[in-house]
Amino acid sequence: MLTTNPFDDDKLREECGIFGVSGGDEDAAALVALGLHALQHRGQEAAGITSWDGREFHTHRAMGHVAGNFDRDDVIRALPGAAACGHVRYSTTGETALRNVQPLYAELASGGFAIAHNGNISNAMRLRRELVRRGSIFQSTSDTETIIHLVATSNYRTLLDKFIDALKQVEGAYSLIVMTPEGMIACRDPLGIRPLVMGRLAGAIIFASETVALDVVGADFVRAIEPGELVIVQGQELRSIHPFAPQRARPCIFEHVYFSRPDSIVDGSSVYSVRKAIGAQLAVEAPVEADLVIPVPDSGVPAAIGYAQQSGIPFELGIIRSHYIGRTFIQPGDKVRHLGVKLKHNANRALIAGKRVVLIDDSIVRGTTSLKIVTMMREAGAAAVHMRIASPPTRHSCFYGVDTPERAKLLAAKLDVDGMTDFIHADSLAFISIDGLYKALGEHGRNAGAPSHCDACFTGDYPTRLTDQDEAETVDQFALLAERVT
């Protein structure tokens, strides 16, 4: 099986999406299903919803999209209650299997405990080994389950204190929605790497990864959950606590570049407007003589509009995307596999023939996608193909909940820009600078001493410890040394 979206195969995969409702009518699960529809772009492997009816918890989890799993009346009726939380997933850690689909649920001494997590715990393996040594029995391979066991084994008295104790032991990135018989808790890690917002709908409090999910259910945006903040909802009572030492926030900059939907608001800024500004800055930094500006659909569209407006080169849809192809299909041979590239994207040949084109995309990961696109343009008769990328070169892997290849497979980690240009067979290639990216966000540039975002995939400047990664690299180094000795 191969995805019929060959361009997206070479993308950084959006982490996960979470959505929660507390204090509404008895149809909370239906609202969660709608919210998850709006967040489907953040995870397309699996989805799950857990509800609380005041007496017991109910859960439905399934592989695949929200549609087809949660658009059936019988499924929603089996999830009664005025509180519910849900999750859409890509597997950044843990195998692709139903046991890893969230929300994860466990019966603790204090009662039921359901958790939905967007992010990645960078010391989960070390914590897991310690917990197993102490007698914990894990039911999944997900890093999220580590939090459940830390809560269960905490020596603190109240559930809230146990939860805080657990969070103080984890490293990395997390936005969480937790449901217990006592109420709902929503929180972000102290650096605010992963997003989380709060809204209101009548008497209900709603939490979501993006504001677009609030829009879809008709909720009013209240504010973003602050880095290091826990918001506790118990009935009609809403309170906020900040149990961690304050740190300078480092939200993920790639939310603006690619992850979030363009109709969302992130850190107070319109994602669509920021992407247009990125394109305009890219045109200033990397101009080129050309006849057409063409976006790589769909994520390259806003930046391409900005590039075209700034450069004065006409914007055109030179690649047409079909929206009616399923996610996968059987491919019986190499020839059909190659033809499958055109099932979802095809060159607008009449427009492109004889033209010098500027292709705008959000990123280059392995480079295989860019090569396919450039080849497609040349086969359509383009006189010249220039590529402009609306992010700096991706030279480092992400360990905060984004499914990125190991560094050795990142094209920019192996080649300089000239080498990358040759690899994708383009006439020219340019990326926006790191300072240019920050300027598009309304800042003067990247403050190397105290950057305002996590940009580790571009700079290698990781804002937290990477315990598991460091230990794995140490093991690899010892193994390599042992091979050399023997």
User: In terms of DSSP bridges, do strands 269-270 and 265-266 run parallel, antiparallel, or are they unpaired?
Assistant: antiparallel
252 noted as active-site residue: no
Please give the Cα distance from 330 to 353 (Å, whole number).
32
Count Cβ atoms within 10 A of the Cβ of residue 281 and give its class: 0-12 exposed, 13-18 middle, 19 or more buried.
buried
User: In terms of DSSP bridges, do strands 328-329 and 183-188 run parallel, antiparallel, or are they unpaired?
Assistant: unpaired
What is the signed CA dihedral for 150, 156, 160, 162, rounded to 10 degrees? 0
∠ CA 331-337-338, nearest 5°, is: 165
Name the nearest CA neighbour of 342 among 331, 354, 357. Answer: 331
| Strands, E assignment, 30-171 | 46-52, 57-63, 83-89, 104-108, 111-121
Name the nearest CA neighbour of 115 among 16, 34, 212. Answer: 16
∠ CA 478-173-233, nearest 5°, is: 145
Q: Which helix (H) or strand (E) holds 204?
A: strand 204-208
Q: Which amino acid is it at 446?
A: R
Name the nearest CA neighbour of 115 among 75, 156, 158, 167. Answer: 167
Name the nearest CA neighbour of 173 among 147, 152, 212, 150. Answer: 147
Q: Which two three-digit tokens encode residue 426?
A: 């383009």
SS3 of 120, please? Answer: strand
State the catalytic residue, choosing from 16, 85, 252, 398.
Answer: 16
Is 388 in contact with 286 (CB distance < 8 Å)? yes
Q: Which two three-digit tokens encode residue 192?
A: 């605010």
Q: Helix H segments across 211-357?
A: 211-217, 254, 271-285, 301-311, 334-339, 341-344, 349-352
Q: In Å, what is the CA distance from 441 to each residue of 71, 149, 390, 435?
A: 38, 39, 13, 10
Rg (CA), the chain: 23
Name the nearest CA neighbour of 259 among 436, 40, 453. Answer: 40
Q: Which amino acid is it at 122?
A: S
Catalytic residue IDs: 16
